[in-house]
Each structure stands twice: as C-alpha cells, then as structure tokens.
Structure 1
C-alpha cells in the first residue's frame, strides 16, 4: 500500500514538473522569410552545404600541405577533386529545381574549418599534426554524411529524383573518404603520434 502511494506521488510530481517545464520553455520565434514547407527547408539546406563544399575546396589544400604522411596527403588530394565534383552536383540539383546555385554561409562548417586550422597551429609538423588533421577531417566528413543523408531523404519525399541521385552519389563518396581516413589513422599513424 505504501509503495503504491509513493509511486502515485512520484508520478504526480514528475507530471507537474513536466508541465511546468513546458510552460517555462519558450518557443524560438522564426525569422522573417523562415522555411514554411519542406521544399523551403530543402533549398535552404542546399545553399548551406553548397557554401560548405566551396569552403572545403579552399581549405583542403592547406591541410594537404601541412600533412606529412604520404597516404594522408594522397587521400586529401583525391578528396579535393571529389569535393569539386560535389560542388558541381549541387549546382545540378539547383538547376533541377529551376533555381540559381546560391551559397549561404554554413556556420557549422565554418566552425569545423576553424577548429582544423587551430589544430594545425597547435601541433608540431609530423605524426601528431597528421593525427590532428585526420581528426578534424573526420569531423567534417561526419557533418557532410549527416547533411547529405538528410538532404537525400528530403529530396526523396519531394520527388526530386535527379537531386536524390546526385546527393546519394556524394553521400557514398563522403562515407568512403571517412573510411579511408580511419584506415590511414589505424595503419600505424596514431601509434607514431604517441
């Protein structure tokens, strides 16, 4: 009997706390021109990743110049070419939507690129810097994998088949790049950095 009463009091207290929390939590007001439909969110997200890919085209050569491991340098060099293709595929998506390709600053990618730059400044050239470059690059890849997966899902629902095709091609390449970075790190590079 005492257990039932204690359980009821705990449940009542939890319910009251949840109701109070939802009353005090405020909704974030939408900006002027905010997305109202999935298509709007899709197009806005395309602008974001378009900016991100173009920023990567500029940032990757610096990472390659700072790397010392030959496999890492070769992997980055290959990904520079792929990233240029990613930009072209995004332009094809905009074209399929009947829109002009437009970039909108991606704060998340800017943060990841800034972190990568900091890692290079805070490490000595060699295996330690190479390990840091891989860590920074994989964070970028994981962000891109999440973004392209989401965009492909949006495009599928919106029946934007040409976009789905392009986005899935890029998603597959981003996953392969992440796997390559893991392989380079695991093949003795992290051990050399000790």
Structure 2
C-alpha cells in the first residue's frame, strides 16, 4: 500500500480524497512499525511473504487509473478500490487481534486493535467522501417531471 497510495492520491481529482489517501499513507507507515512491534512482542519469528490477494486489489486500482478518465467517475472507482483494500485489512487485523488475544499476547493484541481502529476510520472516511460526491452529483442535476 505504501506504493499504491501515492498513485491513488495523484489520480484523485477531489482534493479531500487526495488528502485522505495521503493521510492514510502516513498512517500505513506507522502501522508497519506497529506490526513489527507486535511481532517482536511475541518472540515469534515470521517470514515476510507477498500477499497475492492484496496485490490483486492494488492491481485492480491501477487498472482503473489507466482506463478511466480523470474526474468524478474515476474518483468513485478509486474510493471503491480503496474500500476493497480497507475491508480486506479490517478482516485481517480483526482476525490477527483475536488470535493474539487467544494466545495471550496482550501487547500485540493492543497494537493490532489500534491498527484495526485506524482501518475502520479510513473506511468510514471513504464512505463519507463517496456520499458527498453523490450529493454533489445530485445537486448538479435538475429534476424534471
């Protein structure tokens, strides 16, 4: 995501959406540090592997950037792509936090729950941006009977 979020921010035409992507990039960098802390607190040795599912979601967002003209439609597609990633991350961090709690890793649990909270907040922010865009679109259309 640290490579994808700057691309999403550059592709967005809505300044609030671009700012949301930039803010989430900063959060993501902090989350990486937090994950490292969580792993260290458990004394478990992990091997870093690429997540094929996440790569697919990121690739889908990149394809939309390449295929859709800049503007409100692309912004909506970017929001949808970002929310797919957020939902995947929410599921992952929720599961990891539950597992850490079950295994008695209190410090790791708290770190993972903090990240989960940030991911949920980002998802909510994206939903609000999507709703605002729809409201703008509706306000610009005349209703005729």
User: Normalising by the residue count of structure 2, what TM-score does the alignment of the two structures yield?
Assistant: 0.90
Residues 127, 190 of structure 1: 8 Å contact kept: no
Q: 1:168 to 1:176 in 2, by over 3 A?
A: same
Provide the rounded CA distance (Å) in 2 between the counterparts of 1:65 and 1:100. 37
Matched residue SS, 1:105? coil
Aligned-residue CA RMSD (Å)? 1.8
- Cα distance per residue 1:70-106 (max 9 Å; x no partner): 1101111110000001100111012112245642110
- Cα distance per residue 1:38-86 (max 9 Å; x no partner): xxxxxxxxxxxxxxxxxx0111001101111011011111100000011
Residue matched to 2:9: 64
Which of residues 152, 177, 181 is equivalent to 2:122?
177
1:186 and 2:131 equivalent?
yes
Written as runs of structure 1 = structure 2, the 5 A alignment for 1:1-150 is: 56-99=1-44, 102-150=47-95
What is the Cα deviation at residue 188 of structure 1?
2.5
Aligned residues: 139
Provide the rounded CA distance (Å) in 1 between the counterparts of 2:33 and 2:135. 34
What is the Cα deviation at residue 120 of structure 1?
1.1
Give ranges in structure 1 of 5+ residues lacking alignment.
1-55
Residues 91, 101 of structure 1: 8 Å contact kept: no
Provide the rounded CA distance (Å) in 1 between the counterparts of 2:80 and 2:135. 11
Provide the rounded CA distance (Å) in 1 between the counterparts of 2:75 and 2:56. 20
Higher Cα Rg, which structure: 1
Give ranges in structure 2 of 5+ residues lacking alignment.
none
Provide the rounded CA distance (Å) in 2 between the counterparts of 1:117 and 1:192. 25
Higher relative contact order (CA 8 A, sep 6+): 2
